[in-house]
Amino acid sequence: EVPKHFNFASDVLDKWSQIEKERKGPSNPALWWINGKGDEIKWSFEELGFLSQKVANMLSGPCILQRGDRVLVILPRIPEWWLLNVACMRTGIVIIPGTTQLTAQDICYRLLASKAKCIITTDVLAPAVDSVASKCQFLKTKLIISESSRAEWLNFSDLL
């Protein structure tokens, strides 16, 4: 059977979260991330669901995005990348993933071609974005995933 409407975040992730709650015991992680230094993050389905809902609220609140809007996400494979993917699924925001190897010219082209209203990246690529942002008339919001703040950028950690 094919459902009339399907949303991975609510139809799969939230269902597993509910099953996890009802079990009231240890469960397998929904996301288990380990970086090159050995730091790790383990999220249950309930935690991943909750955090992705918070990120969805961030996107539709301070980032001023709504269903059908496009967001360019240029991130390494960090946990926030997964939260943003699920949050975009929840809200119907179109995610455009980009590699961290993009140049300023590449970023400008993608922003113009996609008419993305928002870009999300780290402090490594923020200067490249800033160098071309004035040419991208559709770009309204810049969201940075960084421990530090940057002028004219919303900070992911602060908003979360």
Mean pLDDT of the region 92-105: 97
Question: pTM for the whole thing?
Answer: 0.88
Q: Say if 33 falls within a structural domain.
A: yes
Q: What is the CATH number of the domain that holds 96?
A: 3.40.50.980
Q: For the purposes of burial, counting CB atoms within 10 Å of the CB of 40, is it exposed (0-12), middle (13-18) or buried (19 or more)?
A: exposed
pLDDT digits (tens, 9 = 90+) for 59-75: 999 999 999 999 999 99
Q: Say if 2 falls within a structural domain.
A: no
Q: Say if 38 falls within a structural domain.
A: yes
pLDDT digits (tens, 9 = 90+) for 32-56: 999 989 999 999 888 899 999 999 9
**116 to each of 12, 37, 50, 72, 96, how far by Cα in Å?**
28, 34, 26, 6, 9
Q: Say if 122 falls within a structural domain.
A: yes
Q: Say if 3 falls within a structural domain.
A: no
Give me the sheet containing 154-155, strands edge to edge.
94-98, 70-74, 118-122, 141-145, 154-155
Residue 90 sits in which domain range? 8-158
Strands 70-74 and 94-98: parallel
How many domains does the chain divide into? 1
Q: How many residues does the chain have?
A: 160
